[in-house]
Amino acid sequence: MNYDKPLLAAALGIASTIPYEITTRVLLFIGMGKYSFYELDSLIVSSNRPSEFLGFIVSSIVGGALAVILYYATKKIGKDYLVLKGIAISLLFGLILEVLFMATIEGKSIPLRPMSDYYTHAFGAVIFGITLGILFKIFLFKKPIFN
């Protein structure tokens, strides 16, 4: 059972990208930003043709890897405050991804994004971290009923 936990953590990371995408879609619908999370992730691979399905695949890889990193980090830093730790690691990797987007595609393959797009993705990263922390608490680190 211990060997299944990193795989479960990766699955929880993949599942946590879905509320992130829903959040960015809602914010795009009300006029904030230009690209959803999945569209922006797909642009890393396709350069100038956004695709939700390709973005889901790229996002799943990144979200799963991030969740596995958080799972192994909890062995060193503890299991307390998982939601806050999820938010922190999500914002850190969100910043790294934004720098990657700016270096590879923004201004070259796609026009410069509005500032509201950065806020949209930062808010989405917070949603990813909250979801990941809650799912970790429920599925990975639940306390046994009987000791």
The model's pLDDT over 120-135, given as tens digits with 9 standing for 90+, comes to: 999 999 999 999 999 9
**What one-character DSSP code corresponds to residue 31?**
T
Contact 131, 139 (CB under 8 A): no
- Greater confidence (75 vs 10) lies with 10
Q: Which residue has the tokens 């062995």?
A: 75
Two tokens, residue 85: 């730790």
* Highest mean pLDDT (candidates 29-43, 46-60, 122-136): 122-136
Residue 1 predicted with pLDDT over 70: no
3-class SS of residue 110: strand
C-alpha to C-alpha distance for 44 and 101, rounded to whole angstroms:
7
Q: What is the mean pLDDT of residues 27-49?
A: 87
- Greater confidence (2 vs 130) lies with 130
- 147 is a domain residue: no
**What one-character DSSP code corresponds to residue 2?**
G
Contact 55, 109 (CB under 8 A): no
Q: How many domains is the chain built from?
A: 1
Residue 143 predicted with pLDDT over 80: no
Q: How far is CA 63 from CA 92, 110, 113, in A?
A: 13, 24, 23
Contact 73, 89 (CB under 8 A): yes
Contact 113, 34 (CB under 8 A): yes
Q: What is the mean pLDDT of residues 82-107?
A: 89
Using alpha carbons, select from 26, 20, 17 the residue that is nearest to residue 127: 20
Residue 2's pLDDT is what?
A: 61
- Residue 24: give the domain boundaries: 2-140
Range scoring the smallest mean pLDDT among 25-29, 43-47, 130-134? 43-47
Residue 47 predicted with pLDDT over 80: no
Residue 110's pLDDT is what?
A: 81
Using alpha carbons only, give the angle 55, 62, 93 rounded to the nearest 5 degrees: 115
pTM above 0.85, yes or no: yes
Residue 109's pLDDT is what?
A: 78
